Amino acid sequence: MVQLIKTSVKCYKKRAKKTVGGKQKVYEYNQYLIPLKRSDNLECKEGVLIIPEKYFKELFGVEDTWAVKEYLSKLKGYEMSIEGYKNEFKELELRYQKEFKDLEWKHSELSKSYKELLSKHTKATKLYKMDTSKLQELETKAEELAKQLELRDIEYNKLKEDYDLVLNKSTIIEEQIKPDEDKGDEDKDFWSMIKNRLGKKELASKDE
């Protein structure tokens, strides 16, 4: 409870003697005294604030002392509430600082993960480009080999036609000379040699 003390200022004259220019003079001035009662329960050397009554209404909007006491009591309650809010604010501030530190740590970890993923993505992109280049080279080589194979097929077909033609001729000649059984072994060896050569040529064409 806020304590409000009501008292009156008392004045009295006080004299002081001073010597000025070799002459003694007596000066009077007002001395003020504010009497207090034992029931006011004030401590020695305790600081107090003095507000003249004429300023009460200006400061508090009332002239009644009890109204001022009630006002000061409410003010004290407000001060206590403010202190409570300060304590709550400190608790919130500590909690937010902890959460902020946690978020900073998470941000640091996410930044590391992002850098690692970016590095992997860069490497994967580089490998993909290299593989794409190799694939294009292989496709180009495949096209060249296909063309070469097509040319080989043409050559093979031509050789096969030539072989078939020679084989037909050989068959015709054999049929023509077959009835003549009086020819010696020399002719038979000659035709066997031609067959062997034609057979080897056919095998060589297939291998190509």
The tokens describing 60, both together, are: 């508090």
Q: What is the mean pLDDT of each run of 10 residues along the chain (208 residues)?
A: 75 84 84 86 84 74 64 72 81 87 89 89 87 87 88 86 79 64 52 63 54
pLDDT for position 196 = 67
pLDDT for position 155 = 86
CA dist., res. 121 & res. 108, Å (int): 20
Report the phi/psi class of residue 45: left, alpha or beta, with left for phi > 0 and alpha for psi in -120 to 50.
left
Look-up of token digits 């329960």: 41
